[in-house]
Amino acid sequence: MRRLMFLIPLVLFLGLAGWFGVRLKQIDRGDTPDRLPSVMIDKPVPAFDLPPLVDGQPGVASAGLADGKVRLVNFWASWCAPCRSEHSILMRLAGQGVDIRGIDYKDKAADGQAILARDGNPYAAVARDESGRTAIDFGVYGVPETYVIDRQGRIRYRQVGPITPQDLQNRILPLINELSK
Amino acid sequence: MRRVLFTLVLAATLLSGPLARAVQPDEMLSDPAMEARARAISKDLRCLVCQNQSIDDSDAPLARDLRLLLRERLVKGDTDAQAVAFLTDRYGDYVLLRPPVRPATYLLWFGPFALLVVGGGILLWRGRRGSAGAEALAPPLTAEEKAHLAMLMRDEDEGKGRP
């Protein structure tokens, strides 16, 4: 027993190295330490009714989110740089027929409208949350954040930060497909 | 004169530190007692943007929104606990800078003390075994060993003169 004591540091090292390896793999798949769990998961979307941003499109209200369709709710702003990098992914998703509702967070209406006119509007409807109170009700930390809403209007997934192609392939699209069955 | 001026400036700088706060005058409630409650609560709430500051310290816009929201809740008649629960319902325990004591956080709260007990135990155990084992591990030399040792010592002494 005593003779094997010298192996203890080796065993500790191997254990630690193994754990680091597991975490590296998880982070590779997008499970980073800053991915904070949301307490809103599996809960119905908070009650809200926000006015439209764009002429000719309706606003976004919680009542309309429980009509049997799976949707994304995307919090964004014209002043938010990561939102711009996410924009092309949203456009592609909208092109594939995914229903995305946008909420323009603490933004000037003219700025939000201008950027959608310039870059394209991926949203089936987009609303203004000028006070940011609806975002707080969702538990938003900062834009962009995206929520997957199921047929019953419950929040099933939260994406913190811009949607990356990996997040889309590994998490969001599989979840949308599963919920749409 | 310069020295006095320097001292005064330095003192003013040092003393103004605690006065520089994120809380803006326009956010404050007119009722000082309620404002004091809001300040006390917001010191224990995490700013979710900066994550290591309280919303009382943070200049982030979200922190300001949360401060205003908290004050609104208090004015509406919420108790301190209700106002805090309003935020944990949305942001989870993560908004609390002082995590609640519950089974999931036992390790966090009591882990260091458990480590202290384990470490102290090991030290005590080793210490006791060390002092008790000193004699047990080294029994007195037999006559034969003593003779052998004496011989070795003699050899050593004789060897000293050699090159």
Assigned token pair, A38: 């949301």
Domain range annotation of chain A: 1-33, 49-180
* Mean pLDDT (chain B, rounded): 84
pLDDT tens readout for residues A4-16: 888 999 999 999 9
B43 and B86 inside one domain? yes
Instruction: State the total domains in chain B.
Output: 2
Say what the pLDDT of residue A56 is: 87
The enclosing domain of B29 has a CATH number of 1.10.8.640
Total residues found in chain A within this entry: 181
What topology does CATH give the domain A49-180? Glutaredoxin (3.40.30)
Binary contact (A38, B92; C-beta < 8 A)? yes
Nearest CA in chain B to A39: B92
- Which of B51, B68, B100 is the last residue in one of the domains? B100
Q: Are residues B22 and B96 in the same domain?
A: yes
Taking only the tens place, the pLDDT of each residue in A98-150 is 999 999 999 999 999 999 999 999 999 999 999 999 999 999 988 899 999 99
Taking the CA of residue A77 and the nearest CA in chain B, the distance in Å comes to 14
Question: What is the structure's pLDDT at A33?
Answer: 65
Q: Are residues B78 and B114 in the same domain?
A: no
| Short-list A67, A63, A43, CA closest to A147 | A43
Instruction: Lowest mean pLDDT of A34-38, B22-26, B93-97, name the range.
Output: A34-38
Q: Residue B20 pLDDT more than 60?
A: no
Any idea which residue has 């909208």 for tokens? A94
B37 and B21 housed in the same domain: yes
- Average pLDDT score, chain A: 91
Q: Give the nearest partner residue to B92 out of A37, A137, A138, using CB atoms.
A: A37
Range of the domain at B112: 104-159
Answer yes or no: is pLDDT of B99 > 90: no
Cα A144 from Cα A35, distance rounded (Å) = 13
- Taking alpha carbons only, the member of A36, A15, A121, A140 closest to residue B61 is A140
More confident residue, A49 or B133: A49
Q: Tell me, yes or no, whether B79 and B128 share the same domain.
A: no
* 3-class DSSP state of B151: helix
Phi/psi of residue B107, nearest 5 degrees? -60, -40
pLDDT at A28: 78
Residues B42 and B66 in one domain: yes
Residues B29 and B79 occupy one common structural domain? yes
Chain A nearest CA to B45, separation (Å)? 14
How far apart (Å, rounded) are the C-alpha atoms in residues A126 and A103?
Answer: 6
| Contact by Cβ (8 Å): A160, A34 | yes
* Mutation for testing the B interface, residue in A129, A130, A136, A140 having most B CBs under 10 Å: A136
On whether both B74 and B120 belong to a single domain, the answer is no
Same domain membership, residue B110 and residue B87: no
Does one domain contain both B96 and B122?
A: no
Which residue's entry shows tokens 């109170």?
A133
Best B91, B122, B137 residue to mutate vs chain A (most A CBs within 10 Å):
B91
Q: Looking at the structure, do residues B24 and B93 belong to the same domain, yes or no? A: yes
**pLDDT value at position B130?**
63
CA distance A38 to chain B (A): 7
Taking the C-alpha atoms of residue A93 and residue A105, their distance in angstroms, rounded to an integer, is: 21
B21 and B93 co-located in one domain = yes
Note the pLDDT tens digit of each residue in A21-36. 999 988 877 666 666 6
Question: What is the percent of chain B where pLDDT is above 70?
Answer: 85
Task: Tell me the Cα Rg of chain B.
Answer: 34
The answer to whether the CB atoms of A139 and B49 lie below 8 A apart is: no
| Tokens linked to B153 | 């010592």
CA B46 to chain centre: 17
**pLDDT (average), residues A73-80:** 95
Quick one: average pLDDT of B127-137? 65
Residue A42 has pLDDT above 60, yes or no: yes
